[in-house]
Amino acid sequence: MIEVRFHGRGGQGAVTLAELIAQAAIKSNMYAQAFPSFGPERRGAPVQAFLRVSDRPIRLRAKVYHPNNVVILDATLLGVVNPSEGLKEGGFVVINSNKSEDELKNLFPGCNIAVVDATHIAKEELGVPITNTTMLGALVKASNIVDIEMLEEPVRERFGVVAQRNINAYKRAFNETKIIKA
């Protein structure tokens, strides 16, 4: 089973991101679950979402405490939470950032890192700095959790007339994501 924890802020689409990967996994004949964790938070408040993907039925219903991968949609959260807490050995911190490789290695010592400037890509491809679909590409590149081609149908179903811009964003992010091994 692959477990992923997503860190974002309300309104950035962390929950949607988890759901899109789950839908792609299900279309790939796998089992998946995606769910959020938030209370009365408002737009901009820290939120988490969780994802599990497996080739067997998933019976576990708890939060993900020891993820294989962590996705950080907003680097400003680094001062608020410790996103890499509980990360399994060999897992990836997948981060939206324009920080240098050295800065990221200092922030996440001993971790594998997949980094992409998703905000920049989202602004150029979507016209808005909402990074959830852009981060699809980064997560898939780091983890191979699903085949990137399996994302297209769930994205088209979810976003309708603006789906192609979202597809362009995640494909571009896939190509631009830099992998930094521990």
Could you tell me the residue range of the domain that residue 75 belongs to?
Answer: 2-180
Alpha carbons 173 and 139: distance in angstroms, whole number = 9
Q: The CATH number of the domain where 79 resides is what?
A: 3.40.920.10
Is the model more confident about 155 or about 42? 155
Look at residues 45, 49, 44 and name the one whose alpha carbon lies nearest to residue 67: 49
pLDDT at 178 > cutoff 80: yes
Q: Please report the pLDDT score of residue 44 as a whole number.
A: 79
pLDDT at 63 > cutoff 90: yes
Q: Please report the pLDDT score of residue 40 as a whole number.
A: 61
**pTM (predicted TM-score):** 0.95
Q: Please report the pLDDT score of residue 139 as a whole number.
A: 98
Do 96 and 116 touch, CB atoms closer than 8 A? Answer: yes
Q: Please report the pLDDT score of residue 7 as a whole number.
A: 95
Is the model more confident about 105 or about 44? 105
b (16+ CB within 10 A) / e for 148-169: bebbbebbeeebeeebebbbbb
pLDDT band (50, 70, 90) for residue 59: very high
Give the pLDDT confidence of 156-174 residue by residue, as tens digits: 999 999 999 999 999 999 9
Alpha helix (H) residue ranges in 49-161:
101-107, 118-126, 132-143, 152-159
pLDDT at 151 > cutoff 70: yes
Give the pLDDT confidence of 7-48 residue by residue, as tens digits: 999 889 999 999 999 999 999 999 999 999 866 656 778 889
Q: Is 40 helix (H, G, I), strand (E, B) or coil?
A: coil
As a whole-number percent, the residues of the chain with pLDDT over 70 amount to: 97
Number of domains in the chain: 1
Average pLDDT, the chain: 95
Look at residues 58, 108, 103 and name the one whose alpha carbon lies nearest to residue 87: 108
Do 69 and 142 touch, CB atoms closer than 8 A? Answer: yes
